[in-house]
Structure 1
Amino acid sequence: MIDIEWLNDVRRKRGFMTVEDTSALSPAGIVVLDPFSTLVSQDVLLGPGVNLHTSDCGAIAISFDAQLYPGARLLAAKGRITVSARAEIGEEGGFTIKAEQPDAVIEVGEGARLIGGGSLKLNNSIGAGAQILGPIQLQNCVL
């Protein structure tokens, strides 16, 4: 049996939403398939239509003041996704970020803009202030 209070206490101490708070995002239009394995920072503001999925020990970290627009999709299955402060993901047509391979790491730098229907897969390092505009697919890229 899962001790929800203990789990919530650990989450709070590390700056994450409780299981109940994470679960409550779904009625607000944010898709959270598994609130027990999805960690959302207490400081993150998410708009309707954002999808957050983690599985198989994947991890998603979204820094304060990052903006995920409707149509943004982040999937960390076995890999890790990090979105830095003031990054913008998904405006003008969505954007997909998938870390599906074991040890895959995708990092989005501070103030980066990923918009217009593109995608990142495998390992990617998108630097501070970089822009991916439009339906561009990147795999194993340093920008």
Structure 2
Amino acid sequence: MLSNAIVERLDRARLAMGYLSIAQTMALADQGNVILDPFSTLISHHITIGTDNIFHPNTRITTHSPNLLSVGNGNLFQGAVTITAQNGLIQIGDENIFGAGNIFVETHQTDAPITIGANGRFKGFIDISGRCDLGNGCQVLGNISLRDVRLQGGGSYQHPVADERGAVLKGHGRAVDIALKTGQVIAGDGSFAITGMRMQSHYHPDAR
């Protein structure tokens, strides 16, 4: 068991950098959240967090300004997730899945917010920046860097009709200034271009 002196030293470093203390991080469980390892989970003071979220080890959610970063309810952060609102707004809705993989979400500009809806899935090595609007049920799967991307919402990945699901980017490469509608998908192979767009039923003919 760690001594009180060691915990106090850890807390001094955390508090100096604007993060919740270990006890304050554990207290998020009072809202129904699950903190699997409060020592490796870093959450800033200014963040608004809902209920029933699950935080795996090595999750870092950071902002140094009030009202810039909010997390809704029932999200799953599967570790190696870094979310940083430096200047622009980040809003995360409900019941999204972040991971497994390395997920980075970061805003640098006040006029370039990032909005993530509900029931999305972000899996792989994902880097999200710029002005991004990722609607309900959207998915980003693979090794992908997104900037200024708009994915229209729809049903989740479990929705029975593929072409009614939120838009999807999958594969690998850099996606810049891409806009997809409900049911659309681009499978990138080094880059993403709207000419490669297909409907999701192309990949899921059993879910037409």
TM range, normalised to the smaller chain?
0.7 to 0.9
Tell me how far 1:31 sits from its aligned partner.
Answer: 2.2
Identical columns (%): 21
Select 2:96's aligned residue among 79, 87, 112.
Answer: 87
- The count of aligned residue pairs is 123
Give secondary structure in 2 for the equivalent of 1:134.
Answer: strand
More helix by share: 2
What amino acid maps onto 2:124 in structure 1? G
Q: Indicate whether 1:50 and 2:59 are aligned.
A: yes
Residue type of the alignment partner of 2:116: V
* Structure 1 residue 131 corresponds to structure 2 residue 153: no
Does the Cα contact within 8 Å between 1:98 and 1:120 map onto a contact in 2? yes
- The residue type equivalent to 1:31 in the other structure is L
Residue 117 of structure 2 corresponds to residue 109 of structure 1? yes
**Which ranges in structure 1 are unaligned for 5 or more consecutive residues?**
1-17
Equivalent in 38, 62, 70 of residue 71 of structure 2: 62
> Aligned partners of 1:100 and 1:31: how far apart in 2?
20
1:21 is aligned with what amino acid? Q
Give 1:120 shift: 0.7
Look up the SS of the partner of 1:132 in the other structure: strand
Give the structure-1-normalised TM-score.
0.73
- AA paired with 1:52? I
Corresponding letter in the other structure for 1:122? G
Aligned-pair CA distance for 1:39: 3.9
Larger Rg: 2
In the TM superposition, residue 42 of structure 1 has moved relative to its aligned partner by: 5.0
Larger RCO (CA under 8 A, 6+ residues apart):
1
* Aligned equivalents of 2:84, 2:124: Cα separation in 1: 18
The whole-number CA distance in structure 2 between the counterparts of 1:74 and 1:90 is 13
Taking the aligned partners of 2:81 and 2:115, their CA distance within structure 1 comes to 15
Residue 21 of structure 1 aligns to a residue whose secondary structure is helix
Query: Matched residues in 2 for 1:57 and 1:99: separation?
Result: 14
Once the 2 structures are TM-superposed, how far is the Cα of residue 85 of structure 1 from its aligned partner?
1.0
Q: Which runs of 5+ in 2 are unaligned?
A: 1-19, 28-34, 152-208
TM-align CA RMSD: 2.4
